[in-house]
Amino acid sequence: MDKFDVIVVGGGHAGAEAAFAVSRSGLSCALITMDQTKIGQMSCNPAIGGLGKSHIVREIDAMGGLMGRATDLSGIQYRTLNTRKGDAVQALRVQCDRDLYKKAVQKILKETNIKIIQDEVVDFLLTNKKAQGVITKSKTYKSKKIILTTGTFLNGKMYTGNIIKTGGRIGDESSIPLSKRLYSLNLPMGRLKTGTPARIKLSSINLLDMEEQPGEKPTPWMSLASPPKKHQKQLSCYITRTNKKTHEIINKNIHLSAMYSGEIKGIGPRYCPSIEDKVRKFQDKNSHQIFIEPEGINKDLVYPNGISTSLPKKAQQEFIFSIKGLERSIITEYGYAVEYDFVDPRTLKQNLETKYLENLYLAGQINGTTGYEEAAAQGLMAGINASNSIKKLKDFVLERSEAYIGVLINDLTSHGITEPYRMFTSRAEHRLLLSQNNAEQRLILKANEIGIVKKERVDKYLSNEKEYKKFYTNNLVKLKKDFFIDKNGAKIRLQEKRSISSLLSRNDVDEKKLFKPNKKDTKLYQRAITEIKYSGYIKKQIREINKTKKQNNKQIPTNIKYEEIHGLSNEVKEKLIKTQPQTIGAASQIEGVTPAAINLILIHLKKKELVSQNA
Amino acid sequence: MSVVYALATPAVKSAICIFRVSGEGCHDYISEIFGLDSPQPRRFLLCDLKNNETFIDRVGLILFKGPESYTGEDSFEVYAHGSLGVMSLIVDLFDSKGFDQASPGEFTKRAFINDKINLNEAESLSDFIESASSREVFLSGASLFGDLSKKLSDFSERINSLRVRVEAEIDFSDEGQDFMDGSLSNDLSLLIEDFGSFVSLCINKREYSNNKNIVLVGPTNSGKSSIFNRLLGYERAIVTDAHGTTRDMISSEVFFQSNKFSIFDSAGIRETEDVIEKKGIETSIKKISDADLVLGVFEKKDASLVSSFKKMCDKGSFFIIQNKIDINSSDTSFFDCCVSAKTGEGFNSLKNLVVSFFERNKKNNKNSQYLIRDRHVKLFNQVTKDLDIALKGLNDSKSLELVAEDLKNARSGLDEILGKKFSDSLLGDIFSSFCIGK
């Protein structure tokens, strides 16, 4: 029988990142997928990054993951969003060539010891109520850990008007036997939906009628590691809008939409509504933006982002033809809504292992998230934690104040979800600490402790940090001035000389005129400006974090009986029983759990400890 | 665990007050607060308590090194002079160091968690925490009255709705919409204005209570000090038959019918050559003009004498009291109240007169609608400051994520007063206000 340390089921963004993490941990790994040509497939819009998401990609990247590298190998348009706002909320968005992205992922995985197996997993190998491997259609494979990253395959249904097909993605079947096995575990489940727009031939679109949005110059990189030699050929995106007529057509046909006919029960994401929802819910808006994304270099296909729909084909065609520039569209694939089951992520521990079946980890869309980045982040963390557990190392858990990935997993495992979960910067209460540009400072050393980052990368990071410190001391601390130019261009004299760094903390100072760094130091100066501008706010946040850190990290044993805790209200008891928080910190985040309730839990835990000591 | 402090003695004027401080790292503050370097634990040390070089009080200090302390953690106790002023300065100092006020049962809870007390004690502690928390809820509900708390919730909501617009502008900037609508800065200054006028309607409970100043005036030897002592219930002022015995202002706090009053006994006013007495009289005159209520104490009806005293109080009200009705016949037509300090006769009606005067006065005081506490004053100031910084930031085109942070801080200040823990419904608010999503 073939044996591996870890088996990853599924080859999407979570699966690829999970397998890659296991391999970097130095363990053996198999990735089992139904179609190996689809490993790393972008099944929605062909873009990586954006607000909250580029932050995640950079974090994955800082811990040695593949998503940033694959993005740079396939990126055809780079744009930094929020350039007029501060560093913490700037985000890089990259349009990718769909095929090149997939190829890049496959190439990276090929360079490792990961064994890729094309087969269908139909069951788990169970001994003593623990998962010990998987059974495929043709074979049985043993493993110490299993990571399930199967996306939307659980009871997936696709809707176009009144036509319903089973499956999780166009052209791909659902895995029915495995879903049955999963259902038999009685995990709490819910139902979600999401949608996609039609795909249109680029050659059939009149781009001259649309607003062009070119990429950023000079073109940046997503990965903070050494980039490829050069960028792929760069393309533009285009913007057009729906109009009154479009809305009329949609209103006229809305009863035919699968979502409005009552067929679909799942909850869709509010931040990614179908065009039917937009027209219905915001009747006062005469027009909605559509973002035309190229599918790839030399590819005669675009992704019209903003008009996802489950209307029948005829109606889709009619409303698309009413949009400026799309009047002669040739539609290659029609939009559809997908409805699927997800596992309530509150049944997962913070290391992403299920509380229901030992050795089984879940990552990605199966946990109710949406987005490549969110999936990849979970894959990475499940991969690391499965490996750590085999090596008898501690769980690798990131704090909310440490990484967006920490926010993501903490939100999932302690609050669960009510709609497909997507990251936003506003989800991170310590947002100012978490910039896409300081991901390495936050995470690389921590990841290096468990050996998942290449040595060259760590060395380069350390020397960069050294260089920054040198720059800071030599220029910003030692250099002093007795005047500065303010934002209105006026020269302000000072009573005594002050260092550049202390002048930078003033709001009225014009940073560009205060100090002119050498070209190679521009980035270092920019970093210093950001750090100084944020420092007051950050000090305050760090004070708050430290205040509760120790207590928050206290573990709550899984066998705790909340019903026994004298003095907790029934409502609080119910919430705690349902959520099963792993730590005091997670418990205190639950709505309605007061500081007094936390005290009672702490006392209860202590009591139990004493009783067991005396027994 | 974090550093917490509590006043271990009642918050009333007394000879000494004791503060307990406990928590990991609290000894790190000893040198900056008390100017002592590595003092010995478990010894009573005399030292100066300072806030950034500003002397507050000469205090006694005992250090306990964990686990040999009540809580099992590093802790210390401060024995300071028991004036309300010193107490509030020490509270301010501890707050500024980032110490938290201990919640009910906190010290005992820590003692339990650190194995200092046994299971039985802990059982009763659970009950205590439970009852304390429900009592707290009840009290905060009662003291915040429905109205004040509704007002604060409204402001909290208004701040949130501004933040929703800022956050949408940050998280959905690629949607091609103007979420801030150009009017955000106007809306914010309007909010600041409204909040300012709301705060001006609030009156600090302490100030409010301290405002009930009553001064006893009258010709020398009319029995002011006897009345003062009778009101207090014990001998405090020196009472003799000689003229001009009370040379200084003597004051004390008394409670009638659960109202707190400060009563001042003034030196009798007469022409005098005695320097010390003269000074006492000057103090009297000043106090009279600041008083909320002046009680003029006389032996007999003497209209011109009464009006000469009445002239001295330009503010507050003046009641004329006849004393010594045990030796003189009472004259209820001329006097507002007739008493005998010697026998106690008429004191109930005197107290009623005083209480009902302040009751009436409270109703007439239209400007202050809300009673608040020191804690609230501090938080209101912080909220105002955060809002001002946010507005200034918006107008100076400061980075928007910092403006969002200011608004978040402002709101959490209000929520802290309300004692609520809001689930962050921010994203929900964004989605229901704007059409988002490509």
Is the confidence at residue B153, as pLDDT, over 70?
A: yes
Nearest to B2 among A269, A547, A591 (CB): A547
3-state secondary structure (DSSP) of residue A197: coil
Nearest to A537 among B109, B119, B405 (CB): B405
A241 assigned ligand-binding residue: no
Token pair 């890659």: residue: A20
Is the confidence at residue B385, as pLDDT, over 80?
A: yes
- Taking residue A3's Cβ as centre, other Cβ atoms within 10 Å add up to 12
Would you kindly state where each structural domain of chain B is located, as residue ranges? 4-113, 121-201+369-419, 213-361
The percent of residues in chain B predicted with pLDDT above 70, rounded, is 69
B27 assigned ligand-binding residue: no
B105 assigned ligand-binding residue: no
A160: its two tokens: 């176009």
**Residue B423 has what pLDDT?**
45
Query: Average model confidence (pLDDT) for chain B?
Result: 77
The Cα angle at residue B27 between residues B25 and B32, in degrees rounded to 5: 110
Q: What is the DSSP string of B218-240?
A: -STTSSHHHHHHHHHTS--S---
Q: How many CB contacts within 8 angstroms connect chain A with chain B?
A: 144
Long-range contacts for A525-532 (Cβ within 8 Å, ≥24 apart)?
A525/A471, A525/A475, A526/A87, A527/A437, A527/A468, A528/A468, A528/A471, A528/A472, A528/A476, A528/A501, A528/A504, A529/A504, A530/A86, A530/A87, A530/A435, A530/A437, A532/A501, A532/A504, A532/A505
**Smallest CA–CA distance from A418 into chain B, residue:** B428
Residues in contact with B235: Cβ distance below 8 Å, sequence separation at least 6, in sequence order: B229
Q: Do the Cβ atoms of A86 and B399 come within 8 Å?
A: yes
Phi/psi-derived region of residue A150, left when phi > 0, alpha when psi is between -120 and 50, beta in every other case:
alpha
What is the C-alpha separation between B171 and B168, in angstroms, rounded?
5
> Using one digit for the tens of pLDDT, what is the confidence trace for A419-457?
899 999 999 989 999 999 999 999 999 999 999 999 999
**Smallest CA–CA distance from A292 into chain B, residue:** B438
Minimum distance, in Å, between the CA of residue A146 and any CA atom of chain B:
34
3-state secondary structure (DSSP) of residue B417: helix
> Using one digit for the tens of pLDDT, what is the confidence trace for A195-224?
899 999 999 999 999 999 999 999 999 999
Task: Give, in order, the Cα–Cα distances in Å from A536 to each of A400, A530, A541, B380, B381.
Answer: 20, 11, 9, 21, 19
What is the C-alpha separation between A561 and A584, in angstroms, rounded?
15
What is the C-alpha separation between A329 and A103, in angstroms, rounded?
29
Of B232, B269, B267, nearest to B250 by C-alpha is B267
What is the C-alpha separation between A271 and A415, in angstroms, rounded?
19
What is the C-alpha separation between B44 and B30, in angstroms, rounded?
14
**Residue B260 has what pLDDT?**
64
Task: Give, in order, the Cα–Cα distances in Å from A402 to each of A372, A482, A532, B160.
Answer: 21, 38, 19, 25
**Residue B427 has what pLDDT?**
66
Minimum distance, in Å, between the CA of residue B79 and any CA atom of chain A:
26
The percent of residues in chain B predicted with pLDDT above 90, rounded, is 19
Residues in chain B closer than 8 A to A487 (CB atoms): 396
> Using one digit for the tens of pLDDT, what is the confidence trace for A511-568?
889 999 998 899 999 999 999 989 888 888 887 777 667 678 888 998 899 988 877 8
pTM above 0.90, yes or no: no
Token pair 């690829």: residue: A16
- Taking residue B397's Cβ as centre, other Cβ atoms within 10 Å add up to 10
For chain A, domains (ranges, CATH) are: 199-338 (2.40.30.260), 469-547 (no CATH), 554-614 (1.10.150.570)
Residues in chain B closer than 8 A to A610 (CB atoms): 115, 119
Nearest to B175 among A289, A507, A600 (CB): A289
Beta strand pairing call for A237-241 and A289-294: antiparallel
Q: Where does the pLDDT of residue B393 fall: very low under 50, low under 70, confident under 90, or very high at 90 and above?
A: confident
**Smallest CA–CA distance from B2 into chain A, residue:** A547
> Using one digit for the tens of pLDDT, what is the confidence trace for B182-233?
788 999 999 999 999 888 777 655 455 556 778 888 888 888 888 887 877 6
Phi/psi-derived region of residue B257, left when phi > 0, alpha when psi is between -120 and 50, beta in every other case:
left
Q: Do the Cβ atoms of B405 and A86 come within 8 Å?
A: no
What is the C-alpha separation between A76 and A446, in angstroms, rounded?
32
A482 assigned ligand-binding residue: no
The domain B4-113 having CATH identifier 3.30.1360.120: the answer here is yes
Q: What is residue B116's DSSP assignment?
A: S
B66 assigned ligand-binding residue: no
Is the confidence at residue A396, as pLDDT, over 90?
A: yes
Residues in chain A closer than 8 A to B132 (CB atoms): 596
A497: its two tokens: 């000389």
**Smallest CA–CA distance from A610 into chain B, residue:** B119
**Smallest CA–CA distance from A590 into chain B, residue:** B423
The percent of residues in chain A predicted with pLDDT above 70, rounded, is 97
**Residue B229 has what pLDDT?**
79
What is the C-alpha separation between A372 and A199, in angstroms, rounded?
19
**Residue B217 has what pLDDT?**
84
Q: Do the Cβ atoms of B423 and A88 come within 8 Å?
A: no
B200 assigned ligand-binding residue: no
Q: What is the CATH number of domain B121-201+369-419?
A: 1.20.120.430
The pLDDT of B124-141, averaged and rounded, is 49
The pLDDT of A583-599, averaged and rounded, is 79
The pLDDT of A401-409, averaged and rounded, is 96
Q: For an interface test with A, which of B401, B402, B408 has the most A Cβ atoms less than 10 Å from its Cβ?
A: B401
Q: Do the Cβ atoms of A85 and B436 come within 8 Å?
A: no
Minimum distance, in Å, between the CA of residue B272 and any CA atom of chain A:
56
A150 touches A178 (CB < 8 A):
yes
Minimum distance, in Å, between the CA of residue A541 and any CA atom of chain B:
10
B11 touches B83 (CB < 8 A):
no
Task: Give, in order, the Cα–Cα distances in Å from B13 to each of B9, B59, B80, B256.
Answer: 10, 16, 12, 17
Query: Average model confidence (pLDDT) for chain A?
Result: 91
Q: Where does the pLDDT of residue A585 fall: very low under 50, low under 70, confident under 90, or very high at 90 and above?
A: confident
> Using one digit for the tens of pLDDT, what is the confidence trace for B56-72?
899 999 999 988 998 99
**Residue B109 has what pLDDT?**
80
Q: What is residue A327's DSSP assignment?
A: T
The pLDDT of A277-299, averaged and rounded, is 91
The pLDDT of B358-377, averaged and rounded, is 60
Token pair 């009563």: residue: B263
Residues in chain B closer than 8 A to A599 (CB atoms): 103, 105-106, 109, 129
A365 assigned ligand-binding residue: yes
Q: Do the Cβ atoms of B171 and A425 come within 8 Å?
A: yes
The pLDDT of A252-275, averaged and rounded, is 84
Q: Do the Cβ atoms of A567 and B127 come within 8 Å?
A: yes
Is the confidence at residue B161, as pLDDT, over 80?
A: yes
B242 assigned ligand-binding residue: yes
A549: its two tokens: 């850190």
> Using one digit for the tens of pLDDT, what is the confidence trace for B292-351?
888 889 988 888 888 888 877 655 578 889 998 888 888 888 888 899 888 888 888 888
Residues in chain B closer than 8 A to A592 (CB atoms): 421
Report the CATH fold assignment for B213-361.
Answer: Rossmann fold (3.40.50)
Is the confidence at residue B433, as pLDDT, over 80?
A: no
